[in-house]
Amino acid sequence: MTTWNELVSAALVGTERHALVPDPALAEADPARALLKQAMLLAVPALTGAPPAPHEGALPEPAPTDDRPLIPSSGRLRLRAVLDVHPKYLPEWLAATRASGCRLPLAALPPLLDAGRNSVALRNDLAEVLGAPGHWLARQNPDWRYLLREPFGPLRPEDWDGPDPDARIAYVNGLYAADPAAARALLQAAWPTQTAAQKMSLLAVVTRHAAAADLDFVRTLSKDSSKQVRDEAKSIEGQITWREDQAEDFTTKIRELIDVDGIGNSVYHFAVRRPEPIWPLDGCRLLLAALVVTGRGGGAPHWAAQHLIGLLADRAPTDLLPEARTVAQTIAAETAAGTEHRLDFDPLATQLGFRADLHAELTASASAAAESGQE
């Protein structure tokens, strides 16, 4: 009896070159047709595939439980819309979810852990929102290990000297957030004994928390033995001094720039570089008023105007929403009456509305949870 594997080797080179003795029972003189017939007879076992294999090892470690109330279903739909359509609002959504004290269904975790791979700014909130199950999941996938370098739960000073390099970084991260002076002292004392690789991972923490008080320390690193460390320190120094330069009051500066040349290059370049994620409300009101004036004026509005509306939609506090709606309605009424308006304020009202809903549903669920104890 021929086996399936013998048939495969015969088929590979062809019956012209591979003498396959046809089974006389097949009553087929042509070796090619005999091979086809035999393959057909053996096909059913070959199609069934390998049977399930016995497994000796232990079962996977299950996720720890999370006692926080589950996020309401409106929040889950919102997360989907944020991830699919408005990923730029993910930081805002995560911060709001963190403040609500809700947990997410575990099925929502993988896409969020993927998002955190490419965005360091998300990671702190991610670690809190995903909680203990998130850390459990992050341990299973090398791509998600970054989460283990985030502070989570009470600070554990023993992690600094512990065997786990991720926990060590998580500790420094947490210490920097809780007590920056202590973190700086710890780094400076330990610095001479660190390897270049350890220094680099510590500098990654410094980058995230860097403030003016870190300048002295990072400047001492210009004589470090590793070129990588010297370069990184230099870039951190640059970031700190740049941020210092941006420290002017937003509202004052916006008023000044608008007074000088209205909506134009200078306002746009100032606004787009601001480090704070959400601008002060008063400055946003000034911008909105100036934009309305620009849109009404004759001639084409400045190129920056529509971009500034987009920036306002993303970075104005949601308290601006009532005014944005009034503006959009007024302009729609004026356009209907025949007055030309060259700027579109609808995206502002729509996106501020989206962000306002995002906060409202999470705040509502947080207060409901506080009242009932749990969902």
Partner 1 sequence: MAPETSSGSPQRWSVAQIHALAPDPASQKAGTKLAAPGPWSGTGTSPAENLLWGDCKGSGSKPYQVTVELSAPAFACSCPSRKFPCKHALGLLLLWSAGTVGDTDTLPQRVEEWLSGRRERAEKTEARKAAAAEKAAEIASDPEAARKAAQAAEKRTAQRAGRIDAGFEELELWLADQLRGGLSGLRGAGYKPLDGLARRLVDAQAPGVAARVKDLAPALSATDWPDHTLRGFAQLNLLAQGWHHRAQLPAPLAATVSRRVGLAPSTEEIAASGEQVADRWLVLGMRDDTPDKLVERRVWLRGESTGRLALLLAFAPQGQSPGLALPVGSTLHARLAFAPDAAPLRAIVLEQGELLPSSPTAPAPSGETLEAAAGAYAAAVAADPWTATVPALLESAVPILDKEWRLLDAKGSLSVPLIRPSSGETAMALGTARQDPDIPKSAYALLAAAAGRPAPVFGVYSLAGFAPVTVWTAEGPVSLA
- Judged by the rule CB under 8 A, the positions of this chain that interact with partner 1 are 7-18, 30-33, 35-37, 39-40, 42-44, 46-57, 59-63, 70, 73-74, 77, 80-81, 84-86, 105-107, 109-110, 133, 136-137, 140-141, 346, 349-350, 353-354, 357
Minimum CB distance to partner 1, residue 113 (Å):
9
One-letter amino acid identity for 60? P
Spell out the SS3 assignment of 279-301. Answer: CCHHHHHHHHHHHHHHHHCCCCC
When the beta carbons of 270 and 354 are compared against partner 1, the nearer one is 354
When the beta carbons of 56 and 161 are compared against partner 1, the nearer one is 56
> 275's torsion region: left (phi>0), alpha (psi -120 to 50) or beta?
alpha
Minimum CB distance to partner 1, residue 375 (Å):
11
3 state DSSP class of 194: coil
d(CA 81, CA 108): 13
Minimum CB distance to partner 1, residue 299 (Å):
21
d(CA 299, CA 192): 64
Tell me the angle at which helices 165-178 and 180-190 cross, rounded to the nearest 10 degrees: 140
Minimum CB distance to partner 1, residue 323 (Å):
15
One-letter amino acid identity for 288? L
Minimum CB distance to partner 1, residue 167 (Å):
21
How far does the chain reach from its first CA to its final CA, in angstroms?
Answer: 67
Closest alpha carbon to 155 in 191, 179, 123: 179
Rounded to the nearest 10 degrees, how much is the dihedral formed by the CA atoms of 195, 200, 201, 202? 80
d(CA 209, CA 186): 15
When the beta carbons of 241 and 339 are compared against partner 1, the nearer one is 339
d(CA 20, CA 1): 11
When the beta carbons of 7 and 236 are compared against partner 1, the nearer one is 7
Minimum CB distance to partner 1, residue 35 (Å):
5
When the beta carbons of 100 and 173 are compared against partner 1, the nearer one is 100
When the beta carbons of 66 and 282 are compared against partner 1, the nearer one is 66
> 338's torsion region: left (phi>0), alpha (psi -120 to 50) or beta?
left
Minimum CB distance to partner 1, residue 134 (Å):
9
Output the six-digit token pair for 94.
């995560």
When the beta carbons of 95 and 349 are compared against partner 1, the nearer one is 349
Minimum CB distance to partner 1, residue 106 (Å):
5
Rounded to the nearest 10 degrees, how much is the dihedral formed by the CA atoms of 122, 125, 131, 134? 0
Q: Which residue has the tokens 């021929």?
A: 2
Minimum CB distance to partner 1, residue 338 (Å):
12
When the beta carbons of 124 and 351 are compared against partner 1, the nearer one is 351
When the beta carbons of 25 and 247 are compared against partner 1, the nearer one is 25
